[in-house]
């Protein structure tokens, strides 16, 4: 049984999710075949092959960062190689390509998966009800399954080296894709503060209730020698700038300490901060999903805890 892994890359660099997908594939203990397609991707194959039994390289300028082209190439490779499973990231790219492949080839698909195992049949786990429930699903019998994995759930650090072979194949794409065109990649502007570099992040969520309470958190961050970050609603309300947002549509951070204040722990947020060495959460709801990733938790009102913490640290510091 072979497991395909769709490799994501951008501007000549492999995306982290590609290594996470390779890690997920290795857990199935079968032949891992990475699919690397695009323009001038030869150099990237050397890095991927370290963790795969085989890398199939399709180098074709017609693919040119066009998801429809990637889809058609993947369709043809699946028809030819008949892998049992195809794994890719639940990223904007994966969310575009995976369902299209499933429809083209009439294959079952499981999206946003946090765990994959083989228990006779392929079993996947998805986190539902805003992270409060983990549900197991068996996929119905099929030649091939398409699976997209949630960012940050499979650790690239658990990858074992395979050092397989690189196989270059002719592009199955016979003509240019004309109905969709890649125009250009726009990098978000880098602001004054880079939360990805901070050792201590004091992060605030909707539980803070009002913009007028943000200075309380700023004061705490300052006295802790930390940097202020936030969940997405805080940015949506315009209370803090986008550069402070942690999560799938914000930044991925790995501080030594992450203090989550009034943040529920939605997966889009957790995916961006679960790599922190130490997570401390304050939330008035003892069932808030943030507590399942936190090492320490305080169940209380942030508006009581923040001034008390600030006061205590001031006392300790003298």
Ligand X SMILES: Cc1cc2nc3c(=O)[nH]c(=O)nc-3n(C[C@H](O)[C@H](O)[C@H](O)COP(=O)(O)OP(=O)(O)OC[C@H]3O[C@@H](n4cnc5c(N)ncnc54)[C@H](O)[C@@H]3O)c2cc1C
Q: Which positions lie near ligand X, rule CB under 6 A?
A: 205-207, 231-233, 245-250, 262-264, 266, 268-269, 272, 282-285, 288, 301-303
| Sheet containing 145-149, strands listed edge to edge, beginning at the edge strand earlier in sequence | 133-138, 121-128, 109-119, 145-149, 85-89, 2-6, 31-38, 54-59, 165-168
Would you say 33 or 290 has its CB closer to ligand X?
Answer: 290
Quote the CA–CA distance of 303 and 189 in Å, as a whole number: 33
Strands of 83-172, DSSP E: 85-89, 109-119, 121-128, 133-138, 145-149, 165-168
38 or 226: CB nearest ligand X: 226
Decide: 294 and 317 in contact? Cβ < 8 Å: no
CB of 206 to ligand X, least distance (A): 3
Q: Can you say whether the dihedral through the CA atoms of 125, 5, 16, 250 is positive or negative?
A: negative
φ/ψ of residue 136, rounded to 5: -95, 140
Nearer to ligand X by C-beta: 18 or 245? 245
Q: Which residue, 38 or 262, has its beta carbon nearer to ligand X? A: 262
**Residue with token string 């970050």:** 229
CB of 210 to ligand X, least distance (A): 10
Handedness of CA 61, 65, 69, 73 (dihedral sign): positive
- Maximum CA extent, the chain: 72
At its nearest, how many Å lie between ligand X and the CB of residue 114?
15
313: Cβ contacts below 8 Å, ≥ 6 apart: 220, 223, 224
* Identity of the residue, 205 or 226, whose beta carbon is nearer to ligand X in the bound complex: 205
Give min distance, CB of 19 to ligand X, in A.
21
Q: Which residue is nearest to ligand X (CB)?
A: 247
CB closer to ligand X out of 40 and 92? 92
* Residue 75: CB minimum distance to ligand X, A: 26
CB of 252 vs ligand X, minimal distance in Å: 9
């Amino acid at each position: 049984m072979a497991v395909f892994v769709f490799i994501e890359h951008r501007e000549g660099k492999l995306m982290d999710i590609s290594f996470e997908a390779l890690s997920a594939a290795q857990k199935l203990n079968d032949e891992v075949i990475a699919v690397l397609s695009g323009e001038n991707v030869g150099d990237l194959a050397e890095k991927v092959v370290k963790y795969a039994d085989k890398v199939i390289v399709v180098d074709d300028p017609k693919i040119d960062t066009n998801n429809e082209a990637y889809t058609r190439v993947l369709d043809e490779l699946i028809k030819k190689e008949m892998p049992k499973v195809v794994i890719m990231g639940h990223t904007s790219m994966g969310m575009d390509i995976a369902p299209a492949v499933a429809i083209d080839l009439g294959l079952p698909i499981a999206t946003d998966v946090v765990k994959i195992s083989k228990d006779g049949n392929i079993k996947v786990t998805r986190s539902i009800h805003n992270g409060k429930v983990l549900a197991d699903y068996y996929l119905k019998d099929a030649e091939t399954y398409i699976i997209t994995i949630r960012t940050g759930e499979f650790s690239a650090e658990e990858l074992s080296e395979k050092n397989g072979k690189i196989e270059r194949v002719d592009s199955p794409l016979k003509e240019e894709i004309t109905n969709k065109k890649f125009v250009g990649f726009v990098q978000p502007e880098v602001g004054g503060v880079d939360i990805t570099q901070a050792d201590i992040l004091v992060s605030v969520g909707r539980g803070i209730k009002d913009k007028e309470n943000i200075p309380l958190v700023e004061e705490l961050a300052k006295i802790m020698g930390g940097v202020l970050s936030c969940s997405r609603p805080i940015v949506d309300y315009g209370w803090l700038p986008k550069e402070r947002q942690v999560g799938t549509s914000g930044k991925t951070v790995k501080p030594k300490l992450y203090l989550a204040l009034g943040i529920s722990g939605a997966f889009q947020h957790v995916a961006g901060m679960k790599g922190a060495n130490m997570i401390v959460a304050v939330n008035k709801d003892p069932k808030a999903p943030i507590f399942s990733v936190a090492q320490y938790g305080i169940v209380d009102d942030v508006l009581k805890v923040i001034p008390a913490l600030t006061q205590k640290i001031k006392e300790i510091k003298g």
